Amino acid sequence: MARKNTAARARKSGSNTMWGGRYKLGPAEIMERINASIGFDRRLYAQDIAGSLAHAEMLVAQGILTAKDGRAIRRGLLKVREEIESGRFKFSTKLEDIHFNVEARLTELIGPAGGRLHTGRSRNDQIALDVRLWVRDTIDRFEVMLRDLQAALIDRADQYSDTIMPGFTHLQTAQPITFGHHLLAYVEMIGRDRSRFADCRARLNESPLGAAALAGSPHPIDPRKTARALGFDRPMANSLDAVSDRDYVIEFIAAASTTAVHLSRLSEEIVIWCSAPFRFISLSDAFTTGSSIMPQKRNPDAAELTRAKVGRIVGAFVALCTILKGLPLTYGKDMQEDKEPLFDAADSLELGIAAMTGMVRDLKANPERMRAVASADYSVATDLADWLVRKVGLPFRQAHHVTGRLVGVASDKGVDLDKLSLAEMQAIEPSIDRSVYRVLTVEASVGARKSFGGTAPANVARSVVEARRRFLGSAKGRSR
C-alpha cells in the first residue's frame, strides 16, 4: 500500500518525485507554471498509451519485463485510458506532462510494475513518438475531410457544368467561363493538398522509440518490434535525430498553411459572390448571420471566419520555425512549445475544412445574374480577335488591334459588340462578314473552348467524371 501511495503523494506535494530525488525543495510556482505542459499535451493521451502498450509488449518479448508485469501494465493502461475518456481522470500540473500523469496513475493502480514500464525509454523519445502518432492520426482524418470537400465541389461542378459566369483577371471581367469549371479548379487545388499531407505522412512514418534520451538504450530492446506494432515503416536510423527531429511538424503545418490559403481564396470568392453588387450565389441561414442593427443583412460569416483561419495557421508555421531555428542537438525544453501551435493549426484547419464543405453543399447559384455579368464589359472581345485570326487570317497582334478599335466604337455607342452593324465593323476591317456574329455570344465563347482543361460545358462534364475517378475512386457520372 505504501508503494502505491508514492505517486499519490507526488500529486499533493510541492515536488515531483518522478524526477525530484535530487531536489529537497519543491519548484517555485512560476517554475511549475512555465514547466508544466499537461494543460495542452493531455490531448496526446491516446497516442501516449498506445506507445506504452507497444513498449511494454516489446519489453516482455525481450525478457526485460516479466509476463506478469506486462499483463498488469496492459490492464492498468487500459484502465487509465478508460478513466481519461470518461472524464474521471484527475490531471495534475505538478506532474508536468501527459507521460508522468499516466505513469503516476498507472503506478497507483498496479504498484511497482508501473515504474518498470519506463525501462529502456526516455520522455524524449516518448514525446517524439506521441507527436508523430498524433500528426499521423490527424493527417488520416484530414484525408477523409478533404476528400469530402472535393466530393462536394465535384457535385456542384456537375450541377453547374453549363452555368455561364464571368471569369476574372485582376478582378476585372476577362472571358466567360462556366461555374462548374471554376469549382473544379478548387478540386485540383485540394487534390494537391491531399498529396502534400500524404507526402508528409510517408516521411514521418518512422518510429523514434528506442532512442531513449538521445544515445539509445543499454537494454536489449527491439525498436523494430515497437515500430511494427505502431504501424511505422521502420525505426529511425539515428538516435540523435529521433529525439530532436520536428521536421514533420513543420512540414505538416506548411501543408496546412497551403490548404488554408486555398480555403481562404474560395472563402473570399464566396464573400464576393454573396455581396449585393454580385449576387452570384446565396447561402442559407445555416452559414450566414444577421446584423444587430440592420435587419436586411445576411452576412457570410462562415466564409469570413474560414478566410481568417489562414492567419493563425501561417502564424503557427512561423512560430514553430522560430522556436526550432537555433536549437543545437538534441532535445531542449524549447521543443515543448511545438505543441500549442501544432494543435491550434490543426484545430483551425479542421474547422475551416468542415465549414467550407458545408458552404459548398449549401450554396445555390443565380445563373441569370451570372450570365448577365458575364455578357457585359465586352467579355467576348478575345473571341472576336480569335475569329479574325481563324477566318480572316490576320496576325494575332493585328487582330488584337482591330478588336480594340471595335470595342472603342461599341463603347462610344454604349452597346455590346454584337449590336454593332456589319457596316460599322467593316469600316474598321473590310474582310469581316456576317458569320462573325456567331462568335459574339457568351454561349459560343464557352462552348468553343474545348482544348484540354478548357471551360466548355462538354469538357466540364467529362472533367467531373474524371475528377470522381481520380480523387474519389468512383466512375459515377452526371448526378443531376
Active-site residue numbers?
170, 291
Q: DSSP string covering 311-379, please?
A: HHHHHHHHHHHHHHTTPPSS--GGGGGGHHHHHHHHHHHHHHHHHHHHHHHH-EE-HHHHHHHHHSTTT
Per-residue cell: 35 = 514547466
AA identity, residue 108: E
The span from the CA of 454 to the CA of 181, in Å, is: 8
Q: DSSP string covering 223-243, please?
A: HHHHHHHTT-SEE-S-HHHHH
Whether the CB-CB separation of 200 and 255 falls below 8 Å is answered with: yes
Question: Please, how many CA atoms are within 13 Å of residue 248, restricted to the half-sphere of its CB?
Answer: 27
Give the strand pairing for 364-365 and 281-282. antiparallel
Look at the chain and count its residues: 480
Per-residue cell: 288 = 450566414
Rg value, the chain, Cα? 31
First to last CA, the chain: 70
The span from the CA of 201 to the CA of 214, in Å, is: 24
Q: Which residues pair with 165 in a beta bridge?
A: 177
Phi, psi of 308 (to 5 degrees): -75, -25
Give the strand pairing for 164-169 and 172-178. antiparallel
The span from the CA of 176 to the CA of 159, in Å, is: 18
Element (H, E) at 461: helix 457-467
Give the strand pairing for 364-365 and 206-207. unpaired
Give the strand pairing for 206-207 and 234-235. parallel
Q: Which residues pair with 175 in a beta bridge?
A: 167
The span from the CA of 439 to the CA of 428, in Å, is: 18
